[in-house]
């Protein structure tokens, strides 16, 4: 298709066991930053009889930093899953790429003390996201 996928992410030491799968599929791994003092962000998904699902955050790595986002490609999709990309970081990305796509799910998730996920759309944040990408 003429598209080169380049994952740019931070992951915990537990992600090392998956690196070989990326290599076998010829997915570049040089921008996957392994962090020693956190586990990879992960969820437990429970499917209910009514077709709904319950999502619980099991672990969360750290937020993205400017150092994680140097030398960006011209087209970037930002897809946070647990609020690990701040609005300011999104603005930084927008300033350094030609085309930006944003998946809002990670910006809308909130977590209770047990890690259970609910969705809350903060309109001020949504406006800031839209201002940052337009």
pLDDT tens digits along 80-96: 999 999 988 998 999 99
What are 11-36's pLDDT values in tens digits? 999 998 899 999 999 999 999 999 99
What residue ranges define each of the domains in the chain, with the CATH number in brackets?
A: 9-133 (3.40.1190.20)
pLDDT at 134: 60
Q: What share of the chain is helix, strand, coil (3-state, %, to 5)?
A: 30, 25, 45
For residue 19, the SS3 value is helix
pLDDT band at 129, cuts 50/70/90? confident
What are 26-78's pLDDT values in tens digits? 999 999 999 999 999 999 999 999 999 999 999 999 999 999 999 999 999 99
Cβ contact 29:19 at 8 Å: yes
What are 103-122's pLDDT values in tens digits? 989 889 999 999 999 998 87
Angle at 102 between CA 96 and CA 108, to 5 degrees: 130
pTM (predicted TM-score)? 0.83
Q: What's the whole-number average pLDDT of the chain?
A: 91
**DSSP per residue, 85-126:** S-HHHHHHHHHT-SEEEE-THHHHEEE-TT-BEEE---HHHH
Strands 42-47 and 53-59, by their bridges, are antiparallel
């Amino acid at each position: 298709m003429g598209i080169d996928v380049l994952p740019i992410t931070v992951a915990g030491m537990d992600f090392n066991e998956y690196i070989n799968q990326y290599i076998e599929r010829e997915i570049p791994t040089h921008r996957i930053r392994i962090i020693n003092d956190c586990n990879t962000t992960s969820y437990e998904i429970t499917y209910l009889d009514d077709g709904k699902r319950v999502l619980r955050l099991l672990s969360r790595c750290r937020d993205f930093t400017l150092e994680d986002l140097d030398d960006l490609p011209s087209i970037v999709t930002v897809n946070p899953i647990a609020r690990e990309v701040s609005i300011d970081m999104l603005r930084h990305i927008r300033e350094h790429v030609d085309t930006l796509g944003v998946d809002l799910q990670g910006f809308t998730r909130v977590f209770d003390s047990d890690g259970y996920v609910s969705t809350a759309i903060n309109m001020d944040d949504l406006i800031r996201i839209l201002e940052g990408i337009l």
